Amino acid sequence: MDHGTSSVSRTVAVLRAMRRLGPGAHSLGAIAAQADLPLATAHRYVQALVTERALTRRGPRGRYALAEAPYVPFEPGREPAKTPTSLGVTAVRNELTALQARTGHIALAYVPLLIGRPLRVHAEQALGGHARSLDAAPRAALEALWRAPLETDASGWVILANLGDHAAGRPQLARIRDQGHAIGPTPLFGHDAIAAPLWRGRTVAGSVSLLVRHAELHDEVVRARLAGAVMDTAARLSGYLTHPGPSTSSAL
């Protein structure tokens, strides 16, 4: 098996094990058994997820729990409040964490806010080791990354392209709808987004985006690999949103 794919599979296995074990903190042995991994392997992946702040370590006995909220490296009040359209699905954070681990890039999820001027609004994120660099970005860029009109960037384009007849007479949106993803500049200088739509049944429910330095996307092989990873994640999350189970239930 490809090493990268194996790493992703083990990361996802640990996250799914945590979800199946339910709320609260769990022992490493219970996590390893539920993930069907050797204890040493489970320990390595659990520690990596603690470093990525997807899991937290609790108590002197080293029990582990899913992080109660995604880490946001901004002062209080700088992140937009969650809207009633928030995805509210634990699987979203888990899949974003796996996408970030697989690619090494910031992974984000957005939802549409279609009151007044249509917006794309940040719902969840997996920052990995990029938290400090993102925190150092200009405030205006961060605010636009968090919330902006759908026309702003690829994260909104993939939503707009699948809203009713918005793509009619607009070749760029029609192409995005046909290709299933979009690539374009973001509010963060020097970074592009690779985005794919999220679906709840036949209704577009948001987007998944990967923030990548523009220079890295000059390589066609890299572009194709990262676009495939984003679309795979979007497809899995669309399945969760369309057929939510007890552990992936949404407030919507």
Same-domain status, 113 and 224: yes
For 61, residues 6+ apart whose C-beta sits below 8 A from its C-beta are: 27
- Is 84 within a domain? no
Q: What is the largest CA-CA distance in the chain?
A: 62
Q: What is the per-residue pLDDT across 173-189, written as a single tens digit (0 to 9) for each?
A: 889 999 999 999 999 89
- pTM tops 0.85, yes or no: no
- Is 154 within a domain? yes
The length of the chain in residues reads 252
- Is 171 within a domain? yes
The pLDDT of residue 95 is 92
Phi, psi of 142 (to 5 degrees): -65, -40
Same-domain status, 94 and 157: yes
Same-domain status, 133 and 184: yes
Unique residue bearing structure tokens 């609260």? 24
The pLDDT of residue 28 is 94
- Is 73 within a domain? no
Same-domain status, 62 and 147: no
Q: What is the per-residue pLDDT across 104-129, written as a single tens digit (0 to 9) for each?
A: 999 999 998 876 678 898 889 999 88
Percentage of the chain with pLDDT > 90? 45
Domain count, the chain: 2
For 24, residues 6+ apart whose C-beta sits below 8 A from its C-beta are: 65
- Residue range(s) defining the domain that contains residue 207: 90-248
Same-domain status, 17 and 115: no
Residue 209 contacts residue 198 (beta carbons within 8 Å): no
Q: What is the per-residue pLDDT across 10-26, written as a single tens digit (0 to 9) for each?
A: 887 888 888 788 888 99
Same-domain status, 217 and 136: yes
Ranges 87-91, 204-208, 213-217, 225-229: which has the least confidence: 87-91
CATH number reported for the structural domain that contains residue 113 in this entry: 3.30.450.40
pLDDT at 251 exceeding the cut of 60: no
What the block records as the tokens of 250 is 């949404």
Q: What is the per-residue pLDDT across 216-227, written as a single tens digit (0 to 9) for each?
A: 999 999 999 999
* Distance in angstroms (rounded) separating the CA atoms of residues 137 and 139: 6
Unique residue bearing structure tokens 């994260």? 155
The pLDDT of residue 93 is 86
Closest among 189, 190, 173, 171 to 181, alpha carbons compared = 173
Same-domain status, 102 and 179: yes
Unique residue bearing structure tokens 């961060």? 142
How is the chain split among helix, strand and coil, in percent rounded to 5? Answer: 45, 20, 35
- Is 83 within a domain? no
- Is 82 within a domain? no
Same-domain status, 186 and 242: yes
Same-domain status, 20 and 103: no
CATH number reported for the structural domain that contains residue 59 in this entry: 1.10.10.10
- Is 166 within a domain? yes
pLDDT at 103 exceeding the cut of 90: yes
- Is 75 within a domain? no
The pLDDT of residue 83 is 40
